[in-house]
Chains A and B, each alone.
Chain A
Amino acid sequence: MEKLLEVSSLTAGYGDGPAILDGAHLSVEPGKIHCIIGPNGAGKSTLLKAICGMLKIRKGDVKFKGQSLKGLRPDQVLRKGICFVPQERALFPKMTVRENLRMGGFSLADKSGLEKRIDEIEERFPILRERRDQHAGTMSGGQQQTLAMARTLIIKPDIVMLDEPSLGLAPKIVAEMFDIMRLMAGEGITILLVEQNALTGLKNADWGVVLDLGRTLFEGPADEVLSDPRIQELYLGGKKAA
């Protein structure tokens, strides 16, 4: 199958600091949910930042639809159709929900369809309509994450990258977030997410990637990753996890 996004032997780091990623690779297939797991500090967030253009690619390459993303700025990567929702605070807390959605379309050259698009999205996520004039910072964690994900849909992206969308959310809400992701995947939007809770992440994903010390140690179908004994021992908290 054709790869939508392909990361090959990537080296990247912050400023002129040490290389945080060294030998990371990854391939992404259209319309699937991909989950990156790994311990704290493994470089998971760094990988997403390198893909979206926030960090310079020092070695290796990132190819999207066959074209290299090397040297592009975040806004250019965004316009290609890759949307990144960073860890924790992806929202503008002192803007209203509606204003936040409007910011989602900031990169659109043609703003004429924007308000209509926002209406459509409010249609799909009624909670956002209900709260449209409330400051985003005053909503619950789950509502904020819903808003952050819904906001990516404004520009109809090909890939949505989510950094720990379940952080600090109750299990029931986490399940809702994965429902939304599956819905998005069903519409052909490819999901690339980082999960701290490896078990939950892999169970909900099609494809699993294990990252440690800045390199990819394993990549394969999510159920294979889940059932690999070595991965269970190292990253899934021992045998009982299976």
Chain B
Amino acid sequence: MTSLDTNEVITARKAYYAGLAGEADKGRSVWFPIAVLALLLALPALQFTGNYNYLIHLVLFTASYVVMASGWNILGGFAGYISLGHNVFFAIGGYFAGMIFARYGISTIILAPLAGLVAAVFGYVIGLITLRVRGPSFIISSLALVMIFKILFDNWDFVGGSNGLSLPANDLPVQWAKLPYYYAFVVMAAFTVWASYRIRHSKFGLGLRAISKDEIKSESAGINTRFYKVLAFAISAFFVGMAGAVWGEYLTYIRPNIFLIILVSVNMVLMCILGGKGTVAGPVIGAILLVVFNEFFVATLGASEINIFATGMIMMLCLMFFPLGIVGTLARLKKLPRILNWD
């Protein structure tokens, strides 16, 4: 007969549970994101020394992507529900603010939070319906949603149908014309990243991460998974909607082809995967990379077909070799620089 020691088993069980609890908290460098923000706020001063409109545009563009990607990340990264239809909220925000701006002249920058709320309400309602399914079903339903909204907006005469509407440009001198939007996006980006940090470290965020790991277990552990998911959907729609609001005025027009093409939502997904889905810093890094890639391809290759090809290729390679993204991979290898550890 083999030996059997009750104590040995009990000790082993304890060690097993301790292993699961694992991973102590690490220190964070708060100064780094604050320094970056300060730098960005000061950046437009360069305009006094020459024409840096292109640089301003790039930062603005990146900041808007940060808002969208971080917003998407709350649902797709934290809760693990991949949506390919988040440009619907980009459109809702853009059209809501754009229409009011066109009719009553209220700046979309002021309207942005309200537009975000409208998008959040839509997100909440849509989430109530679509979050009943998960995995591939959810992804496909989000795709169907974009198709439906595209047709509706294309045929809704009140908002200009497929031609959309043009919006008045502001009358600031060229050198300063981009600045209102620049500051709006930089501030929104900072707010989104901060909010996403707070959410990740809250009880709510913990619940979302539990859902992404194993929804059935989380439910039996007493988490109100349905409410959590739907709330995550609404919050994530809020940020994306806010970005959409200002985007229309910056471009001076709103049109289904700008907001509702699939590439917009693909970019949100791609940024998060590149940078690291479910992390706070990931979407930011992903946004920077995407803008750099985009500029590179537009500059060297021009044609949009090649751009589509390259975007798809990068996405595939990342998914295959880097599914955790830059932040996720470095964190797993325990090589994540302190300045990027925002989680």
Contact = CB atoms under 8 A, between A and B. Distances in A.
Do A and B make up one complex? yes
Given A218-B1, A224-B1, A213 B12 contact: yes
B9 interface: yes
Interface string B1-37: 1101010010011001000000000000000000000
- Chain B interface secondary structure, helix, strand, loop or mixed? helix
For B4, B13, B16, which residue has the most chain A Cβ atoms within 10 angstroms? B4
Nearest to A233: B6
A234 B7 CA distance: 11
Given A212-B9, A234-B9, A217 B4 contact: yes
A231 interface: yes
B2 A220 contact: yes
Nearest to A224: B1
Contact of A219 (B2, B9, B12, B13): B2
A84 B170 CA distance: 74
Contact of A230 (B4, B12, B16): B4
Nearest to A41: B16
B2 A217 contact: yes
B279 to A, nearest CB: 22
Contacts of B4: 210, 217-218, 228, 230-231
B9 A217 contact: yes
Contacts of A213: 9, 12-13, 16
- Give the size range of A's interface with the partner: 10 to 19
Contacts of A216: 2
A210 B6 CA distance: 13
Contacts of B13: 213
A171 to B, nearest CB: 27
B1 A220 contact: yes
A166 B215 CA distance: 28
B278 to A, nearest CB: 19
A213 B13 CA distance: 7
Interface in A3-37: none
Contacts of B9: 212-213, 217, 234
Contacts of B1: 218-220, 224
Contacts of B2: 216-220
Nearest to B13: A213
Interface in A127-151: none
Interface string A198-239: 000000000000101100111110001000101101100000
A220 B1 CA distance: 6
A182 B4 CA distance: 29
A220 B6 CA distance: 17
For A212, A213, A228, which residue has the most chain B Cβ atoms within 10 angstroms? A213
Interface of A: 210, 212-213, 216-220, 224, 228, 230-231, 233-234
Interface of B: 1-2, 4, 6, 9, 12-13, 16
22 contacts: A210-B4, A213-B9, A213-B12, A213-B13, A216-B2, A217-B2, A217-B4, A217-B9, A218-B1, A218-B2, A218-B4, A219-B1, A219-B2, A220-B1, A220-B2, A224-B1, A228-B4, A230-B4, A231-B4, A233-B6, A234-B6, A234-B9
Q: Which 4 residue pairs of A and B lie closest in terms of their CB atoms, listed nearest first?
A: A218-B4, A220-B1, A213-B12, A217-B4
